[in-house]
Structure 1
Amino acid sequence: MAAETIPLTADRFAAAARAAGATAPDSVLAEVGTELISRWSEPQRFYHTGEHLAACLDLVGDEPVVALAVWGHDAVYDPTAADNEERSAVLTGELLAECQVPAPVIEEVLRLVRLTAGHAVAPGDRNGALLADADLAILAAPWPDYVRYVAAVRAEYAHVPDELWRVGRATVLRSLLGLPGLYHRTPELESTARANLHRELASLTPAPPD
């Protein structure tokens, strides 16, 4: 039986911020948590929603610095833009400063947020490995769930014509397949994820003529 998802609340953000050293009043932490939940609930989101946020938080567990990076990693999500990770990092830095999180912690959180642009994790980067594994966990889902994930991402890019979507999506898939490893702390997911990626890529690529 799958573990029950912990509710996504402003208190959950506040707990992570406090554990990471935030010293602002509770009211400030509550306001920031509420703002983040509001951002994750925007109407242009179909996959990058509070459900994805909660799933990632559950996976990183009791790691407050990584949890703050999870809260921030898609805080800005505009499917028409190419700099969401950087804009998310800037916003996250501003919000954590409001929470009076120590500067070295903010620096690490922002490094992690930016890492999600390509999910390339250096050897020994424990925090990066934990975040990347959580963010990419969906790739190893059973095929029907994976198909629903792809459909949700496609809905976010409804403004993109089908042909351009296929080209762009194939580029993303090849980039992921080009990583030395998709998972660092959960390597047992690797084979399923790569099979899913190859299967989707094949569906996007015309078969060669006989």
Structure 2
Amino acid sequence: MKREELWDEAVRVVRGDLHGLVSVREDLERRWSEPHRGYHDLRHLDEVLAALGELRGGALDTDDEWASVVLAAWFHDAIYDVRAPADNERLSAELAREALSPHGIGDDVVATVAALVEASATHDVSVSSGPHAAFHDADLWILAAPESRFDAYCADVRREYAEVPDTAYAEGRTAILSPFLERASIYRTALAREAWEPQARLNLRRELARLHLH
């Protein structure tokens, strides 16, 4: 299902104003298409949505949970500024609240969407099912991508930080990626642990080895 169709499905499930939210979706697509983005672009959004589709049956119990993770996917990197990365998730969550609340979507759903977006800042989730687990795993699907796609992802992230010297980038990126290998499991849902975990660990080891060369 195309990203626009998934957006419409989610809005219908939570009884939002489909017509009124068209402009919100279009604004999000413009944001995801900003020229400074390397990895955090529409392809990443599509991959997160596809990963959520794989997890839907095993990790999500209700249609409202499904709608919440789909909307969170659309908003989670809506604001992406490499110069102030610490603010991206907070500002994206604020955007979700401001954009969704006036269009008939209930406070509980809006709060869940915002919480999912904010949680993506740390990728630190303890539950093994439900919206937080599913969204956590879908956002990290890229770590388990086929080798060629994972390598392209690494190159795309490097391009986003092109102004950072190689040594500083290698140190910073290592600090971000290494903790995933230190976890008992990178992923939280049973499906992701079984299907994605082995490839993710192989990919991470390869990238960390490359970074170590700088």
TM-score range, shorter chain: 0.7 to 0.9
State the identity %.
40
Q: Distance in 2 between matches of 1:38 and 1:72?
A: 12
Q: Which residue of 1 aligns with 2:61?
A: none
As a proportion of its length, which structure holds more helix? 2
Between 1 and 2, higher relative CO (CA 8 Å, sep ≥ 6) is seen in: 2
Q: Distance in 1 between matches of 2:155 and 2:176?
A: 15
Opposite residue 126 of structure 1, the aligned amino acid is G
Q: Which residue of 2 aligns with 1:144?
A: 148
Q: Per-residue deviation at 1:7?
A: 2.7
Q: How does 1:164-179 map to 2 (within 5 A)?
A: 164-179=168-183
Question: TM-score when scaled to structure 1?
Answer: 0.88
Q: Which residue of 1 aligns with 2:10?
A: 16
Tell me, yes or no, if the aligned pair for 1:28 and 1:98 is still in contact at 8 Å: no
Q: Which residue of 2 aligns with 1:127?
A: 131
Q: Which residue of 2 aligns with 1:201?
A: 208
- SS of match in other structure, 1:38: helix
Question: TM-score when scaled to structure 2?
Answer: 0.86
Q: What value does the CA root-mean-square deviation take over the aligned residues?
A: 1.8
Q: Which residue of 1 aligns with 2:60?
A: none
Tell me, yes or no, if the aligned pair for 2:32 and 2:78 is still in contact at 8 Å: yes
Q: Distance in 1 between matches of 2:128 and 2:156?
A: 33
Q: How does 1:24-103 map to 2 (within 5 A)?
A: 24=17, 26-61=18-53, 63-81=66-84, 82-103=86-107
Q: How does 1:176-191 map to 2 (within 5 A)?
A: 176-185=180-189, 186-188=192-194, 189-191=196-198
How many residues are treated as equivalent by the alignment? 199
4+ runs deviating over 6 angstroms: none
Q: Distance in 1 between matches of 2:213 and 2:43?
A: 33
Answer with 116-125 or 50-59: which moved more.
Answer: 116-125
For structure 2, the residue ranges without an aligned partner over 5 or more in a row are 57-65
Shift in alpha-carbon separation, 1:96–1:165, aligned structure 2, 3 A: same
Q: Distance in 2 between matches of 1:85 and 1:130?
A: 18
Opposite residue 187 of structure 1, the aligned amino acid is R
Q: Distance in 2 between matches of 1:84 and 1:53?
A: 16
Q: Distance in 2 between matches of 1:73 and 1:178?
A: 25
Q: Per-residue deviation at 1:72?
A: 0.8
- Say whether residues 1:153 and 2:157 are aligned partners: yes
Q: Distance in 2 between matches of 1:124 and 1:105?
A: 20
Q: Distance in 2 between matches of 1:99 and 1:40?
A: 22
